[in-house]
Amino acid sequence: DTGVSQDPRHKITKRGQNVTFRCDPISEHNRLYWYRQTLGQGPEFLTYFQNEAQLEKSRLLSDRFSAERPKGSFSTLEIQRTEQGDSAMYLCASSQGTDNEQFFGPGTRLTVL
Amino acid sequence: GDSVTQMEGPVTLSEEAFLTINCTYTATGYPSLFWYVQYPGEGLQLLLKATKADDKGSNKGFEATYRKETTSFHLEKGSVQVSDSAVYFCALSETGKSTFGDGTTLTVKP
């Protein structure tokens, strides 16, 4: 078990560009979550999947953000037309079971110039 | 909606001091409660959890008790070490997603 992995670990982009992040959960986990964390704040929920179904999206998630989890395995988070306010750490987590204990990946740090 | 309020930091203690980090929550149902820790340069790790009222979670000398009557889940440790220096996050989970507090930075000095 290698834990939750995320790629890339760091991404620097120019405003207006599109970016895509990948998350590989722990293999037997059926739930996958995306969070965003800015400096001095706790993680903020973006969206989550149970298997391949996207069950909930935050109202804070603009139309520029989209997430997929084809075949219920890895997931991608795409941000279109990036803005400077999108600069943050994007965290992925996975879980299995009913008590919602989540295992976090190392995060992808996005910097929008 | 759900929310978590944590004691503001930063907190600075001397080694072997007693630690309390306060956490209170608002939820519509009966959430599970968690403390996560983030050591410098590392990702979030689960420290302890409690899934129902009066449960006590414990790990590495840290403890927290799920108090439904006061909607609290305060983190305590009797004797902190320099290696406990980290950011601590209180969180609740009710419908799958987790709601986090803003974190409390703990620095332990020798």
- Encode pLDDT of B13-28 as tens digits: 999 999 999 999 999 8
Q: What is the pLDDT of residues A38-57, one digit of tens each?
A: 988 999 999 999 999 999 89
| Cβ atoms of residues B10 and B27 within 8 Å | no
What's the one-letter identity of residue A30? N
pLDDT above 80 for A2: no
Specify the pLDDT at position A83. 96
Contacts of B42 in chain A (CB under 8 A): 106
Q: Among B43, B93, B102, whose Cβ lies nearest the Cβ of A42? A: B102
Residue A22 has a CB neighbour count (10 Å cut-off) of 14
Neighbour tally for B2: CB within 10 Å = 18
Q: A59 falls in which pLDDT band (50, 70, 90)? A: confident
CA-CA distance, A66 to A57, in Å (whole number)?
Answer: 10
Q: Do A56 and B98 touch (CB under 8 A)?
A: no
**A7 close to B (CB below 8 A):** no
Main-chain dihedrals φ then ψ at residue A86, nearest 5 degrees: -80, -10
Which residues are within 8 A (CB) of B40 and not within 5 positions of it... i.e. 6 or more apart?
A: B85, B86
Structure token digits, residue B36: 């996560």
Look at residues B94, B87, B88 and name the one whose alpha carbon lies nearest to residue B71.
B94
Searching chain B, which residue's CA lies closest to the CA of residue A47?
Answer: B97
Q: Are A45 and B98 in contact (CB under 8 A)?
A: yes
Cβ–Cβ < 8 Å for A14, A113: yes
Query: Rounded to an integer, what distance in angstroms lies between the CA atom of residue A56 and that of residue B43?
Result: 24
SS3 content of chain B, % helix, strand, coil (to 5): 5, 55, 45
A105 touches chain B (CB under 8 A): yes
pLDDT at A99 over 70: no
Mean pLDDT for the stretch of residues A10-34: 95
Residues A102 and A3 sit within 8 Å (Cβ to Cβ): no
CB A71 within 8 A of CB A79: no
Mean pLDDT across B78-107: 94
**DSSP annotation of B96:** S
